[in-house]
Structure 1
């Protein structure tokens, strides 16, 4: 069967020598298996030191593996000569956190450089650079110095440069970490456009769960060099299993309110607190709330919210319910099998 994956990592291990004589080797990547399908945006998320940036450097063989195999477009990069690796890398674009632009050149000059290295004629360079600048929205900055650009504009140049040689794969290593929130959203939208309109596969390395939520199709969570959880973004957001994943998800999705927040809420709200977990877009909030109305139970939203991933709404709403205990119990019984709910400790 022909593989649909553009990138496959099979039992990949990467060790670095110990920091000192007699010190044990440091294992940065520890037995990772991973598949990145053609045409998808695949995110790898983890805290500092998790091994995610090392992992991406193994994909284009900037670092050699200690053991295991890394297959890109059907070719095991661990078996290639340096010359063959240079040819392979022409099909892989790289986007960096700190932009890595040549400040002595104009925007045009930065885009011309990879095309010149690839042997593209001057006439073809003119056409390609014009296309790229229009695509990333910088046609008016063609002859501007890099030092005169904002951070977001620099990253757009970085993306255009990564696209110059028509790569099949983009590696984006913390591409938005140096940007403010508004600029981050613009750059993420541009990466989504690259994927959607050009069909380019993107491997997104990040420590920001909001970036994953906005544009990724699937995600792998790393800790201490291992992939501890992976799957479609919606599944990981709505039902995180590993503690590290739950910590990441909690940065963008409110779950049960912490004890100190519950204590503060009880100072200003009466009744019983219940958390409703909306996980299926076929269940509308109005249908759940109707159960309370049928049993003469009043409700007030005190914590949480609804998020959206790839057109699917989900979230956790903590409500303060007022009414008789019997009425509240009956209303909650109506929710069984419809909306998962948890009563917040009284």
Structure 2
């Protein structure tokens, strides 16, 4: 029987750095052919496009598959398993599969899905990697911007669990084979050590805790862990994962909203980043992400903002039909869409 294809599950709250870590992995895959399954959130496939733009021959556009039908742990049968089956039916199989979950996904049900007969003989969970926003957790929070996480929760109509963030964080730690304390450059050395020590005591025996910034880790640290996590579910107990009697929960989806702003290409990336930051502050925008075409530049500019922090970088060449700027804006209900669109179009 052929060897099972290893799959790595990457979990962590919005803003912890999952996409950045995976992008670095793709650019330093050391010859591995990696396929991605992404649990997308929002009106525009930004995370998928960021990863498709890696430009690495080991991960082509065809190797990136997006799930946009809601929280991955709540759509296992309808969405995830069929997507994985489709990937496994290809003649050109990947060497490794990486799955980026939504920050709200419970990792345990996803790991359990690998025991489904349709896929259990062909793929195995090589490891569960949990990313932690080191600065936020050290300060007693679970994410850089709790409101943005709540907005993500409210915008997902398919989410059928309302696990408190504290319990969801415990679930992510309990299921981990590797805990990555990201943004460690924002911590004092004694803070970083204290947090790492704490996470070791809160996780299962033998779980590794590593610190990094910008998701920079060697591929050999992330991949090749051979955990076979789907055979070890009892040790990854998720005591807080529960559903109501009818399997549904009430959600107030009207508290948050998201929309897309499209404008022509920009002339000055630095000035535009300042404009984005000012617009975020003026209109209490929780999350903004997207792409821009820059006048005279052949490369696409990726823009990501969580709270007041705006990051941007060039990721891949632009196609002829892509010379425009498209941004997803996420915030509490009642956003002044006209004013925000006007500000971002200035």
Computing the radius of gyration over CA atoms, which structure comes out larger, 1 or 2?
A: 1
* Greater strand content: 1
TM-score of the superposition, structure 1-length normalised?
A: 0.26
Tell me: higher relative CO, structure 1 or 2? Use CA pairs within 8 A at least 6 residues apart.
2
